[in-house]
Chains A and B, each alone.
Chain A
Amino acid sequence: MTLITKEHKVKTAYAGQHERADRSDCMITLSLKKSGGFDITVNSKVKLLFEKAIRETITNVMTAFSIEHAKVIIDDNGAPDYVITARLEACIKQLVDTNICYLPEMLKQNITGTKKERMRRSRLYLPGNTPKLSLNAGLHGGDAIILDLEDSVAPDRKDEARILVRNSLRAVDFYGAERMVRINQGERGLKDLDAVIPQHANLILLPKCETAKQLLKVDKRIYDLRKEYKIEHEVWIMPIIESALGVINAFDIAGASMNVVALAIGLEDYTADIGVPRTPEGKESFFARSMLVNAAKANGIQAIDSVFSDVSDMDALYENVLESKSLGFDGMGCIHPRQIKVIHDAFAPTEKEIEKAQKIVDAFKEAEKKGLGVVSVGSKMIDPPVVKRALRIMELASKQDR
């Protein structure tokens, strides 16, 4: 294979980070040469234990891209293999036109799909370009993790983040959390899909969604990619409504595709859009939140509230979740692992609710067994939606330990 070098001024490529705080990451500097083979410099905190492995990894990646002569400097802070290969690939793609992807081994637990009805009480945001946060993210028991390619990634790092997120979806064990990816808006978002759909992402978060048309574009690309890569499980979509227009169109957006499983609301952008500050009481977003809940429920899908940004105040978070729950929301975003348990606790049904639900569920099962069309507790007839809610409460109650 011949190497097609990009026709622009960049001669040296960089990717990754190597400040002291950037644990589990590395920065790679790459320049191509005409001769002389590989000149690899390894500066690493774990040099005495991993220098050989790091050199071997770098050589393997270079070989896969048919590069024979290059100067590589790695400043490493304990990056696992899938991070090193992502950083190097990102460098190579700045210098060379290629469609090759150097993929880490796929964990068998990372090729499974998820159910539409699955609980989505908590979803933990992980900045897509920060590997240290994703390694342990699944351990904290959240219903989902979100590898974010949008707002948490600096504009000039979008390409390298996409490669890292792609690798993370293959190599990181998220211990049963639903694997979500927040893509960018517009064309860049479609490119994000090209990278993550073949890696079995479970759900795509579509930010700043304002119209059903935007959603359908994403839905179509996901459909095409699933076909091309023979992805058998469904890939769900959760549009995030972050503007007045989005709020007004929420019903259409929610119903645009069978793959939409939830509507989420982003209040920072929404309040900016309507021109008011976001307050702790949230009076200014009451309409938007209610609208979103109703648009979601009218389409039989979940409604998910915004994140709570004060990570040190767990009591205020708890109160906030209770309010969300009372408005009809089913879940909330998290920006810190310690928020997960608080959110689950607040969404948990109370003992009284469980007791009541148990009675209804028992009566429902009894009626089913006897082939009765009508469910009753004592002398009271129970309508089907009440049974449905009771079943949901029992499901929530059973998941409290996770």
Chain B
Amino acid sequence: MKMVKNAVGRMVPTEINGEKVVPFMGIGKYRPTGKTHAPTISTAIDFPADGDKRIPSLKEALIRSGLKDDMVISTHHHLRNGDLVANQIFDIAAELGVKNLVWVPSASFPCHKDIIKHLESGVVHHIEGSMNGPLGKFTSEGKMKGTAVLRSHGGRYQAIQDGEIQIDIAVLAAPTADPFGNGHGLDGPSACGGLGYALADYRYAEKVIVVTDNLIKFPCIPMQIEGNFVDYVVEMDKIGIPELIVSGTTQITKSPDRLLIAELTAKFCDAAGLIKDGFSFQMGAGGTSLAIGIYFHQMLKERQIKARFAVGGSTQYSTKMLEDGCLEYMLDGQTFDLEAVRSMRENRLQHPDISIFHAYDYHAKGNFTTMMDVMILGATEVDVNFNGNVVTHSDGYMLHGIGGWQNCLFAKCTILPVPLFRNRIPIICDEVTTLVGPGELVDVIVTERGIAINPKRQDLIDKVKDSGLPLKTIQELKEEAERICGKPQKPELGDKVVAAIKWVDGTVIDVVREVKT
């Protein structure tokens, strides 16, 4: 495999799974030309005039869709760890003797560990998506036939739209659907809220199969999946396990150390003048992020001001903010708990579902991330140049997907609240194991032992320098981590590239190498 050094100094291949790829050239440097991908033109005469596209089983729908060797199969991850659909596709493929499929999920979860047997037997050649937990371990140990490709949520949309990934069959679970193929996630036993990750799949795939366990009469409103793009509808007993799809309630962290990080983050945002009437923010559903949200909520309430909009994962806490009048719009990409699902159902105008295309797509006429004032993200590692890693741990194991992380880096102020070390492993290090995001886009690191601001953001430094907050250089933070933990040895990694990490524009920013066991 020919390797070249890319713009962030990482050695990356020029070809992955037999296809030519472009090494990362720098932020905003790669500008593709040409047209976006498009599926074959369909004619309404080929579809039932009564709008009933039902097929008795997923197996039959897959056969009718022409399932065969080397095809690209996509799924979305709105059913999260409760997904009962994706595994079935590959069980059926195995039964039919189909080989060398490529699976393109918008994310994978521990429940997808059953795909491992299909990777071992050759039914699935490789995965392009996220590899969490068991699949990540399997891939890290060099056991996948092909090379995995990891993309951000926005990067997945971009790759499908640009034709880098050409989906043959999209199998889309819909918690509620009609026989025409319209679907949404607001109701039904497997309700999950929005279905925004499925947009690229149904727009650009050759064949689209909608799978539901809650079939209703036409029309299914809202049409989060539009039936005019759908070939077949399959009814099934159960598409998901409700308690694994959304948590009953998401919970803020109880750890005093995490709460301290959350408090420092909120104080930093305040000192930097970011919390003002009409501001916008995005944060995840992790315990620390939720605690930051609560601090924001308190400040807004006390000062009787409002945030204009929030993007991203919705929870009971964002719902409270919305219904309290402290937040005007919750633009929802992923709905994390039952309260948020209820809110999406009841507050249609203020709490709409949005797609990844709206929020993150880099090859579009703008997207939402660059407009956001405050962005709260996590990381497994950050180095002294502010480069961030979210996919591998310091021991080389790839255990997480990128999610929207890379896309979100483009916000006006990107803050990474992270502990200085986890279980003796420093989070702030000399050089990240895998470079997923360039440091020039990371503005602030908040740890329990101090806050480091990227020297490129002199404006932020000026704003908070007299705030009394514990400001440190990133070098000082790194040294403190090493004083407490000791300096870890470098893990031994093999030469084999097990995964490529794509940047938001489709170029290759880094690779993951095999872990020697």
DSSP majority for the A interface?
Answer: loop
From B259, B423, B468, A46 is in contact (CB under 8 Å) with B423
Chain B interface residue count, Cβ-Cβ cutoff 8 angstroms: 21
- Chain A residues with CB below 8 A from B110, complex form: none
Within 8 A of A (CB), among B459-517: 468, 484-486, 488-489, 491-492, 515
B260 near A: Cβ within 8 Å? yes
When distances are taken between beta carbons in the complex, the residues of chain A under 8 Å from B484 are 80, 135, 173
The reply to whether A80 and B257 contact each other, CB–CB distance below 8 Å, is no
- Which chain A residues lie closer than 8 Å to B448 at the CB level? 136, 139
Check: B449 CB closer than 8 A to any chain A CB: yes
Q: Is A6 an interface residue (CB 8 A)?
A: no
**B423 to A52, Cβ gap below 8 A?**
no
For window 422-447 of chain B, which residues contact chain A by CB distance below 8 Å?
Answer: 423-425
Given the contacts A48-B491, A139-B448, A24 and B394 also touching, CB distance less than 8 Å? no
Decide yes or no whether A140 CB sits under 8 A from chain B: yes
Contacts of B468 in A (CB 8 A): 401
B329 to chain A, nearest CB (A): 33
**Smallest CB separation, A136 vs chain B (Å):** 5
Asked whether A336 is an interface residue with its Cβ less than 8 Å from the other chain, the reply is yes
Given A49-B488, A135-B484, A139-B448, CB of A79 within 8 Å of CB of B424: yes
Q: Which one of B259, B260, B491, B515 contacts A49 once the chains associate, using CB atoms below 8 Å? A: B491
| Residue among B394, B424, B468, B485 with most chain A CB within 10 A | B424
Nearest Cβ distance between residue B448 and chain A, in whole angstroms?
5
B256–A49 contact, CB under 8 A? no
Q: Does B333 contact A (CB under 8 A)?
A: no
Tell me if A77 is interfacial: C-beta within 8 Å of chain B.
Answer: yes
The verdict on B70 contacting chain A, using a C-beta distance below 8 Å, is: no
Instruction: Name the residue on A nearest B261 (C-beta).
Output: A139
- B256, A46: Cβ atoms under 8 Å? no
Q: Which residues of B contact A81 (CB under 8 A)?
A: 486
B23 within 8 A of A: no
Task: Kindly identify, within residues 62 to 83 of chain A, every residue whose CB is under 8 Å from any CB belonging to chain B.
Answer: 77-81
Asked if residues A46 and B424 are in contact (CB atoms below 8 Å), the reply is yes
Expressed in whole angstroms, the minimum distance between the Cβ of A140 and any Cβ of chain B is 6
CA distance A24 to B488 in the complex (A): 15
- Per a CB cutoff under 8 Å, which of A50, A135, A139 touches B260? A139
Decide: A50 near B489, CB < 8 A? Known: A136-B448, A139-B257, A139-B260: yes
- Contact residue among A45, A51, A140 (Cβ-Cβ distance under 8 Å from B423): A45
Q: What A residues does B425 contact at CB under 8 A? A: 46, 49, 78
- B424 lies within 8 A of A78 (CB): yes
Find chain A residues with CB under 8 A from B324 CB: none
By a CB distance below 8 angstroms, the chain B residues around A48 are 395-396, 491-492, 515
Q: In the complex, how many angstroms separate the beta carbon of B20 from the nearest chain A beta carbon? A: 34
Q: Which A residues from 329 to 344 make CB contacts under 8 A with B?
A: 336-338
Question: CA A80 – CA B425 in complex, angstroms?
Answer: 10
The residue that B259 contacts in the complex, of A45, A50, A52, A338, with Cβ under 8 A, is: A338
A367 an interface residue at 8 Å Cβ cutoff?
Answer: no
A176-192 interface code vs B (CB 8 A; 1 in, 0 out): 00000000000000000
A-B contact count (CB 8 A): 59
> A316 interface residue, CB < 8 Å from B?
no
A20 CB to nearest chain B CB (Å) = 11
Interface string of A183-213 (1 = CB under 8 A from B): 0000000000000000000000000000000
A298 within 8 A of partner (CB): no
> A80, B423: Cβ atoms under 8 Å?
no
Which of A50, A338, A401 is within 8 Å of B256, CB to CB? A338
Tell me how far the C-beta of B470 lies from the nearest C-beta in chain A, rounded to whole angstroms.
9
Closest A residue by C-beta to B489: A52
Query: Looking across the interface, which residue of chain A has its beta carbon closest to that of B480?
Result: A173
- Say whether A53 faces chain B, with CB atoms less than 8 Å apart: yes
* Interface contact B486-A53, CB-CB below 8 Å: yes
A74 to chain B, nearest CB (A): 13
CB distance from A167 to the nearest CB of B (A): 13
Across the interface, which residues of B come within 8 angstroms of A338, CB to CB? 256, 259
Q: A53 contacts B489, CB within 8 Å? A: yes
Q: How far is the CB of B93 from chain A (nearest CB, A)?
A: 35
A80 to B449, CA, bound (A): 17
Most buried by A among B449, B468, B485: B485
Report chain A residues within 8 Å CB of B491: 48-49
Contact A139 B486 (CB under 8 A): no
Question: Given that A48-B491, A49-B394, A135-B484 are contacting pairs, would A336 and B423 also be in contact in the complex, using a CB cutoff of 8 Å?
Answer: no
Chain A residues with CB under 8 A of B485: 80
Pairwise interchain contact A49-B257, C-beta atoms closer than 8 A = no
Question: CB-CB < 8 A to A93: which residues of B?
Answer: none
Query: Do the beta carbons of A46 and B257 come within 8 Å of each other?
Result: no
Q: In the complex, what residues of A have CB within 8 A of residue B257's CB?
A: 136, 139, 337
In angstroms, Cα B400 to Cα A334, docked, is: 38
Chain A positions within 8 Å of B423 at CB level: 23-24, 45-46, 77-78
Q: Give the docked Cα–Cα distance between A295 and B260 (Å).
A: 38
Cα of A337 to Cα of B259 in the assembled complex, Å: 10
Complex Cα–Cα for A50 and B484 (A): 13
CB distance from B264 to the nearest CB of A (A): 10
A141 to B259 Cα, complex, angstroms: 13
Is B424 a contact of A50 with CB atoms below 8 Å?
Answer: yes
Give CA–CA (A337, B260) in the complex, Å. 10
User: Could you tell me the distance between the alpha carbons of A140 and B261 in the complex, rounded to whole angstroms?
Assistant: 11
Cβ < 8 Å to B, chain A residues 32-71? 45-46, 48-53
Q: How far is the CB of B337 from chain A (nearest CB, A)?
A: 22
Q: Which residues of A contact B260 (CB under 8 A)?
A: 136, 139-140, 337
Chain B, range 284-323, C-beta contacts under 8 Å to A: none
1/0 per residue, CB under 8 A from B, across A15-37: the answer is 00000000110000000000000
Taking a contact as CB atoms under 8 Å apart, the answer to whether A24 and B424 are in contact is: yes
CB distance from A22 to the nearest CB of B (A): 11
CB within 8 A of B486: which of A24, A50, A135?
A50
Chain B residues, Cβ within 8 Å of A45:
423
Contacts of A135 in B (CB 8 A): 484
Query: Which of A49, A80, A173 interacts with B489 by CB under 8 Å?
Result: A49
* Distance between Cα atoms of A253 and B423 in the complex (Å): 44
19 pairs of residues in contact across A and B, judged by CB atoms under 8 Å: A46-B395, A46-B425, A48-B395, A49-B394, A49-B395, A49-B489, A49-B491, A51-B489, A77-B423, A78-B423, A78-B424, A80-B484, A81-B486, A136-B448, A139-B448, A140-B256, A173-B484, A337-B256, A337-B257
Closest 8 CB pairs of A and B: A78-B423, A78-B424, A49-B488, A337-B256, A48-B395, A48-B491, A136-B257, A46-B424
16 additional contacts (CB under 8 A) given A48-B492, A53-B486, A140-B256: A48-B395, A48-B515, A49-B424, A49-B425, A49-B491, A50-B486, A51-B489, A53-B488, A77-B423, A80-B485, A139-B257, A139-B449, A336-B256, A337-B260, A338-B256, A338-B259
The residues of B with any CB-CB pair to A shorter than 8 Å are: 256-257, 259-260, 394-396, 423-425, 448-449, 468, 484-486, 488-489, 491-492, 515
